[in-house]
């Protein structure tokens, strides 16, 4: 129970971070695409696995008060989870997600209402459009969820409209000159991805074409056409990727026009961002996140601040005016090079950066001549920090640890490790950097007992 193909009257009680409505039948979770909590519906069971079932709405008996019209022209890309519920309700669902992650980890930390900027469309400053061969030349779009089928769609409502225009120009150029899209199955073709990044308010744009060769046909015609049409385009690059892989970027770049990086201003700091560097995708919400982190850290100007997983240095540099000394550690070399340049270009002299694995922090600091942090900011990728990193962080015994996380589950796991080892935390503050999608960011300040 419930049997496959059977019909079921189901009350939806939650929406998970993949956008599925969740109900329960005989104690088993039933996931229903497009359903919202508060819906009462008749559902047909289309899959019955050992510990869950999947259903499809046959009839909506009574709609949820949280429902809204999903008006996305690119439906089916799977990038959004909450387009069918109101934004205020999405914020509640996101807060619940953080609450339940902590509860599952055995923690009862108060979770604040989700902070947000109110901007829920056109906020993304980055797009990586896959290109695939189609009947009439290259097709640009998104990979359908859990597949490698490209859904044709350049105009995602979360992106600035200029991205779609640039991508369309690249496509037309490829079509005109007969440049084939990369075919995943045969490994043939040239154009793989159109990768775009934008500074705040699209003041600057950077285009990287991921291709199987750094010798892109008719590159000159393309750059001339693009720079004439899009004056904010500050650089056009090629990135070579010949591997049969899901990883988008390869290692080698070639600059076709302009410069190899974007410049953006974040929390009063001018940043340079190369295509390979991590940069938060939502400018305004990132400022809100970093300001919240700084408030939680309550810096006095006397602290030695260690920024772990520092990327291009954005968090540490945004706090630099409120600390005595700054040290950043990051594994991607080109990001560290950006961080150093960023410090220099902003006249920040009390900052140092090192390339390396966060797990080796104690050794890296020793080799750098010693650095004893009062405050550590940790901003790891989705998988969270590994045990080695957490242990090395504990061995440095900072007064405060500011954990910034894009994944409530690994955040809760790492909190459950850190809190019993001499730290307390008053609250978790979620910040919505990714409206309409299933992702949510959080900040927790841990203080040494």
By CB under 6 A, name the one of 64, 274, 282, 314 that touches ligand SAH. 314
By CB under 6 A, name the one of 21, 164, 250, 311 that touches ligand SAH. 311
Near ligand SAH in 253-292, by CB under 6 A: 278-280
Number of H helices, E strands in the chain: 9, 21
Among the listed ranges 111-119, 181-189, 293-301, 304-312, the one in contact with ligand SAH (CB under 6 A) is 304-312
What character string, x for contact with ligand SAH (CB under 6 A) and - otherwise, covers 156-185? ------------------------------
Cα separation of 180 and 17, whole Å? 36
Q: Does 309 bind ligand SAH (CB under 6 A)?
A: yes
Cα separation of 270 and 320, whole Å? 13
Cα separation of 179 and 201, whole Å? 32
Per the rule left: phi > 0, alpha: psi between -120 and 50, beta: everything else, 427 is beta
Q: Does 143 bind ligand SAH (CB under 6 A)?
A: no
CB of 237 to ligand SAH, least distance (A): 19
Among the listed ranges 154-162, 206-214, 329-337, 408-416, the one in contact with ligand SAH (CB under 6 A) is 329-337
CA angle 169, 171, 173 (to 5 degrees): 70
Beta bridge partners of 44: 7, 56
Cα separation of 315 and 353, whole Å? 13
Q: Does 306 bind ligand SAH (CB under 6 A)?
A: no
Q: Which residue's Cβ has the minimum distance to ligand SAH?
A: 311
Number of chain residues interacting with ligand SAH (CB under 6 A)? 18
Residue 338 among the catalytic residues: no
Cα separation of 31 and 52, whole Å? 8
Beta bridge partners of 424: 447
Cα dihedral sign, 360-365-369-370 = negative
CB of 212 to ligand SAH, least distance (A): 25
Nearer to ligand SAH, 223 or 280 (CB): 280
**What CA–CA distances, in Å, run from 198 to 56, 234, 261?**
39, 10, 11
Nearer to ligand SAH, 44 or 352 (CB): 352
Nearest to 193 by CA among 201, 206, 204, 182: 182
Nearer to ligand SAH, 79 or 356 (CB): 356
By CB under 6 A, name the one of 60, 162, 257, 332 that touches ligand SAH. 332
Cα separation of 116 and 286, whole Å? 10
Nearer to ligand SAH, 278 or 417 (CB): 278
- CB atoms inside a 10 Å sphere around CB 396: 16
Catalytic residue among 156, 310, 406, 445: 406
Nearer to ligand SAH, 21 or 316 (CB): 316
Cα separation of 84 and 12, whole Å? 14
Near ligand SAH in 350-389, by CB under 6 A: 357-358, 379-381
CB of 155 to ligand SAH, least distance (A): 27
Summarize as ranges the residues that interact with ligand SAH (CB under 6 A): 278-280, 309-311, 314-315, 329-332, 335, 357-358, 379-381
Q: Which residues are catalytic?
A: 406
């Amino acid at each position: 129970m419930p049997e496959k193909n059977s019909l079921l009257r189901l009350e939806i009680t939650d929406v998970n971070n993949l956008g599925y409505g969740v109900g329960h039948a005989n104690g088993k979770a039933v996931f229903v695409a497009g359903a919202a909590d508060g819906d009462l519906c008749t559902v047909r069971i289309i899959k019955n696995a050992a510990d869950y079932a999947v259903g499809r709405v046959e009839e909506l008996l009574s709609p949820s008060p949280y429902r809204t019209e999903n008006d996305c022209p690119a439906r089916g890309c799977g990038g959004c989870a909450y387009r069918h519920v109101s934004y205020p309700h999405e914020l509640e669902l996101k807060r619940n997600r953080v609450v339940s992650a902590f509860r599952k980890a055995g923690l009862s930390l108060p979770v604040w209402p989700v902070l947000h900027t109110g901007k829920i469309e056109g906020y993304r400053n980055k797009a990586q459009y896959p290109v695939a061969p189609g009947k009439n030349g290259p097709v640009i779009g998104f990979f359908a969820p859990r597949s490698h089928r490209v859904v044709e769609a350049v105009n995602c409502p979360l992106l600035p409209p200029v991205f779609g225009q640039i991508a369309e120009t690249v496509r037309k150029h490829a079509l005109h000159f007969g440049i084939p899209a990369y075919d995943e199955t045969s490994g043939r073709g040239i154009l793989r991805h159109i990768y775009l990044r934008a500074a705040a308010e699209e003041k600057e744009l950077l285009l990287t074409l991921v291709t199987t060769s750094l010798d892109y046909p008719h590159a000159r015609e393309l750059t001339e056409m693009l720079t004439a049409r899009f004056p904010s385009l500050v650089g056009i690059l090629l990135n070579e990727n010949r591997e049969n892989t899901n990883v988008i970027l390869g290692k080698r770049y070639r600059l076709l026009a302009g410069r190899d990086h974007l410049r953006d201003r974040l929390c009063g700091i001018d940043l340079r961002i190369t295509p390979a560097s991590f940069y938060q995708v939502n400018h305004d919400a990132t400022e809100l996140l970093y300001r919240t982190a700084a408030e939680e850290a309550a810096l006095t100007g006397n602290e030695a601040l260690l920024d772990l997983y520092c990327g291009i240095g954005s968090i540490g540099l945004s706090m630099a005016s409120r600390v005595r000394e700054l040290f950043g550690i990051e594994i991607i070399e080109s990001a560290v090079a950006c961080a150093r340049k960023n410090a220099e270009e902003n006249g920040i002299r009390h900052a140092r950066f090192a390339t390396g694995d966060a797990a080796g922090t104690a050794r890296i600091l020793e080799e750098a001549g010693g650095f004893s942090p009062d405050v550590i900011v940790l901003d790891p990728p989705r998988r969270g920090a590994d045990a080695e990193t957490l242990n090395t962080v504990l061995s440095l015994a900072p007064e405060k640890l500011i954990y910034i996380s894009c994944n409530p589950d690994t955040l809760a796991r790492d909190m459950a490790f850190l809190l019993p080892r001499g730290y307390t935390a008053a609250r978790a503050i979620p910040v919505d950097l990714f409206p309409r999608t299933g992702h949510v960011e959080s900040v927790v300040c841990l203080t040494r007992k």
